[in-house]
Structure 1
Amino acid sequence: MPAAALKPKPLPTQSTARRAVRLDSPYVPLEKRPLPAGRPREWYQTHNRRLKAMRLAIALLDSGVYLPDQARDETIRDTAETIGVHPPSATTCHMVRAFMRYHR
């Protein structure tokens, strides 16, 4: 029998993280900070588009859509409605699929 098979698996209450993690604490979002001033308007639009695309990609992954080919525009827009964000444009939908493709 290989040595790895004899090694006990960690209990669900134990953490394998390198730093301490409280498993019983609820999720608390980080404090929002203002965006840096003085950038061109396009920078802010792209930044917000990336944030929205990442939120949608995470929501799709949580709902069981794992492949970019499964994430059609209609699926992404339905997910946006479910999580409470405005319907994304075709450009944002393309970015969502790009995120899913990159993080496979």
Structure 2
Amino acid sequence: MPAAALHPKPARKPLPTQSTAQHPVLFDSPYAPMTKRPLPPGRPREWYITHNRRLKAMRLAIALLDSGVHVPGQARDGTIRGMAETIGVHPPSDTTCHMVRALMRYCR
């Protein structure tokens, strides 16, 4: 019998930065709101603004890709703002729309 079979590996403990919380998964809509977690305290205000803008741009890019808009040229500001209304987020700024197109360019 091999030595590995005699000594099973111990279960890995999660890293201190990994969350061990069980988050509910909602299946009734692909754009259902996710469970929110608090952001880390003590960062400059600009960090929070940029972080939230990136999350919004990522949600919008995923929704556009799922809806069949695969080319950044198809994702005009009006299209992106219409998708924001569809998924239930505030209309994005011009900067966020630019970030959505940049994410779509990166995903190709």
**TM-score normalised by the chain length of structure 1:** 0.70
Could you report, residue by residue, the CA deviation over 1:22-71 in whole angstroms, capped at 9, with x for unpaired residues?
xxxxx816753311110000000000000000000000001100010100
The question of 1:28 aligning with 2:25 is answered yes
Aligned to 2:86: 82
Q: Which runs of 5+ in 2 are unaligned?
A: 1-23, 27-33
- The alignment covers a number of residue pairs equal to 78
The question of 1:46 aligning with 2:50 is answered yes
Superposed, 1:1-104 pairs within 5 Å as 28=25, 31-104=35-108
CA drift at 1:103 = 1.0
Distance (Å, rounded) in 1 between the aligned partners of 2:103 and 2:83: 15
**TM-score normalised by the chain length of structure 2:** 0.68
Could you report, residue by residue, the CA deviation over 1:65-101 in whole angstroms, capped at 9, with x for unpaired residues?
0010100000000000011100000000000000000
Q: Which runs of 5+ in 1 are unaligned?
A: 1-26
Q: What stretches of structure 1 move > 2 A for 4+ residues in a row?
A: 29-33
Distance (Å, rounded) in 2 between the aligned partners of 1:83 and 1:32: 16
